[in-house]
Amino acid sequence: MLFRWLRNRRRRRILAEPFPHAWRDWLEDEVVHYARLDPERQAQLRDLLQVFVTEKNWEGLQGLQLTDAMKVTIAALACLLILGRPQELDFDHVLSILIYPDVFLARQQQPNAVGVVSERREARIGEAWYRGPVILSWEDVWEDARQDYPGGNVVLHEFEHQLDMSNGQLVDGTPPMRDRAEYERWVAVMEREFHTLIDRCRRCRPGVLDCYGSQNPAEFFAVATEAFFERPTALHNHLPDLFAILHNFYALDPAEWTRDPWGAGDRDANASAT
């Protein structure tokens, strides 16, 4: 209780400071999702990101000089995930944001059939660690914020993993649920659509969802979240049950503010997965 009281007092002090005009200008010009929100939602998002920027530890890697614009961009996209449920969802367990200029190499350990572990390096644009940092490629963050290539969003992807981990270290594609009925509905829809995506990707017909989501349930949830915010009309039209459980979880309807270039056209590519 004391910790919560101190945290809330600290946040009231943060929000008592005026929101910087330069931050608002940047959001309106460079962060598409913010610019499309209605004024009330924009104000709510500004409050969330102002606290987020202030509370997190930020580090630029490989010589990257961090700017407020970088922090504000990442914070705005991350806080979009909790905009509909700010009293229930949070990123308090995320301690640091580490930012590379571009794609980075990460160590990956892989055991073979007899238990021998080999180590290799993989190119990444983002990583999320339990009670640790979120690591991002700034070049990809900026492209996603401007929607240079609509459809994917590394900040949404990695911070969704953090929501997934917020009920424990296990990343299993099932975040904290409000009740048993919501949990059972979530599991039923997610399992069905996950296996449908696996089948569609084997036939080279993934549809609305990227095949990266066919790796495991955790990546499926992350990819589905990207589609929910980036291609909401297409997701609603072609995978309505999946859209419905994400709409319920995030308590938002991005179709109200997002001009979805995937919402119509290319009937074969976006055909129903049923």
Pick the CATH number of 172-274 from 3.40.50.300, 3.40.390.10, 3.90.1150.10, 3.40.50.620: 3.40.390.10
Q: For the ranges 3-17, 102-116, 154-168, which has the lowest average pLDDT?
A: 102-116
Instruction: Answer yes or no: are the C-beta atoms of 193 and 273 closer than 8 Å.
Output: yes
Rounded average pLDDT over 5-18: 88
Share of the chain above pLDDT 90, in %: 73
CATH number of the domain located at residue range(s) 14-160 in this protein: 1.10.472.150
CB-based burial, 10-40: b 16+ in 10 Å, e otherwise? eeeeeeeeeeeeebeebbeebbbbbeebeee
Backbone angle region of 170, left / alpha / beta, with phi > 0 → left and psi within -120 to 50 → alpha: beta
pLDDT at 272: 31
The structural domains of the chain, with segments of one domain joined by +, span: 14-160, 172-274
Q: Contact at 8 Å (CB) between 252 and 83? A: yes
Write out the two tokens for 68: 């407020």
Kindly report the average pLDDT of the chain as a whole number: 88
* Higher per-residue pLDDT: 10 or 160: 160
pLDDT band for 231, please (50, 70, 90 cuts). very high
pLDDT for position 269: 38
3-state secondary structure of 121: strand
Which token pair is 174? Answer: 């099932």
**CB neighbours (10 Å) of residue 126?**
23
| pTM for this model (two decimals) | 0.89
151: nearest Cα among 231, 254, 247: 231
Residue 1, pLDDT score: 75
Question: What pLDDT is recorded for position 254?
Answer: 94
Mean pLDDT of 160-175: 89
CA-to-CA distance for 227 and 153, rounded, in angstroms? Answer: 9
Least confident of 62-76, 101-115, 213-227: 101-115
Tokens of 22: 């330069």
**Picking from 82-91, 152-161, 167-176, which range would have the lowest pLDDT averaged per residue?**
167-176
pLDDT at 274: 27
User: What letter represents residue 134's amino acid?
Assistant: V
The answer to whether residues 210 and 151 touch, using CB atoms and an 8 Å cutoff, is: yes
Average of per-residue pLDDT across 144-170: 87
Task: Choose among 247, 256, 245, 263: nearest CA to 151.
Answer: 263
What is the C-alpha to C-alpha distance for residues 193 and 95, in angstroms, rounded to an integer? 33
Tell me 269's DSSP state: T
Which residues on neighbouring strands pair with residue 98, listed in sequence order? 59, 135
Percentages helix, strand, coil for the chain (3-state, rounded to 5) are: 50, 10, 35
pLDDT interval class at 259 (50, 70, 90): low
Q: How many of the other CB atoms lie within 10 Å of CB of 115?
A: 6
Taking alpha carbons only, the member of 61, 67, 83, 69 closest to residue 28 is: 69
> Is-contact 68 22, C-beta < 8 A?
yes
| pLDDT digits 0-9 by tens, 98-114 | 999 999 988 765 554 54
Q: Average pLDDT of 81-92?
A: 95
Output 168 or 74, whichever has higher pLDDT: 74
- Residue 257 confidence (pLDDT): 83
What band does 25 get if pLDDT is binned at 50, 70 and 90? very high
Q: Does residue 5 surpass a pLDDT of 50?
A: yes
Per-residue confidence (pLDDT) for residue 113, from 0 to 100: 52
Helix 180-202 and helix 217-230, axial crossing angle in degrees, nearest 10: 90
What is the mean pLDDT of the segment spanning 192-206?
Answer: 94
Count of helices and strands (H, E) across the chain: 11, 6
Tokens at 196, concatenated: 């449908």
pLDDT of residue 171: 87
Task: Please give the angle made by the CA atoms of 89, 90 and 92, to the nearest 5 degrees.
Answer: 150
